[in-house]
Amino acid sequence: MYNIAVIPGDGIGKEVMKACINVLKSLDIDFNFTYGEAGDECLLENGEALPDTTIELAKNADACLFGAAGETAADVIVRLRQELNLFANLRPVKSYPNTNALFNNLDFMIVRENTEGIYVAKEEEYTEEGAIARRIITKKASKRIIDYAFQFAKNNNKSKVTGVHKANVLKVTDGLFKEVLYEVAKDYEGEVEVEDFYVDATAMYLITRPESFEVIVTTNLFGDILSDEGAGLVGGLGMIPSGNIGEDGALFEPVHGSAPDIAGKGIANPMAMILSASMMLNYLEEYEAEENLNNAILTVLNEGKVLTPDLGGTATTTEVGEAIISALN
């Protein structure tokens, strides 16, 4: 039996999580789901956005599913990643049918460093006219995430890793990241190729030749921005799952936020949440269940009859979940 921590969070997080859990319950796997609170509503009700009980729940689980957070995202999901030492953020960019994807042949992974960079939120007032934010890049964290990216490429039949940085301007911090990239690449010589681009060039290449990427590895903020750009290539944020992986735990979440403009309407796309659950199955080494779930998702998308409004359909969140369950059965 797998103990799964479930943190629905705010807004559409609750709606897509419900559909996701129903799908997981239809699998022939023994899950024990335990729920925790976090987010804007939790802050209002309990005085804190991320209670210690929720952190402990996530730490003691075999894996964690997270829905979405609103204004408290930095206090919730960023802190959870840090508390659980989830150093690798995996954000796949993959084309699916009937999703308004701009390209129909994309299948690459963005591997984002999750524990440092500008998102450590070390900010302070500097003068009355401005402020300072510290950007922390260490050799240890850079080596860990870059090695993870190369291992991911090797294990998933990818032949190339692209390092993304801004070393021409951030000569010390991103200079270090680029240096470590090529140090680690030596360990995979003859197995995985390496290249590197500046982040601004990469943003352009994602539009002009995205099919050339296989695995991108980059720092925290750059990875966050580029993965949202990747979402625009393949039908929007409703189609982008993610996994946060550490040495002793993992958390899986859709890339989208709480979407207060559509929360409560029952029309949120649950695909990113359910695809995140599929990534969880892979992490748990339930490979057959992962394949079956991915095939069921593909069946529903290929048929194109049960799609939420963001994909041009009229289906509800619940109806999409039920369609996937029917395809599984």
Question: Could you list the active site residues?
Answer: 119, 166, 200, 224, 228
| Helix 139-155 with 173-185: angle, nearest 10 deg | 40
Q: Is 110 helix (H, G, I), strand (E, B) or coil?
A: strand
Q: Is 131 helix (H, G, I), strand (E, B) or coil?
A: strand
CB 194 within 8 A of CB 161: yes
CB 169 within 8 A of CB 179: no
Alpha carbon distance 114, 223 (integer Å): 9
Paired strand residues for 66:
7
Lookup result for tokens 């625009």: 232
- Rounded to a whole number, what is the distance in angstroms from the first to the last CA of the chain? 22
Q: Is 228 helix (H, G, I), strand (E, B) or coil?
A: helix
Indicate the DSSP class of residue 74.
I
Order of strands, edge to edge, in the sheet holding 2-9?
Answer: 31-35, 2-9, 63-68, 250-254, 241-245, 88-94, 107-113, 215-218, 160-165, 193-198
Helix %, strand %, coil % of the chain (to 5): 45, 20, 35
For the purposes of burial, counting CB atoms within 10 Å of the CB of 221, is it exposed (0-12), middle (13-18) or buried (19 or more)? middle
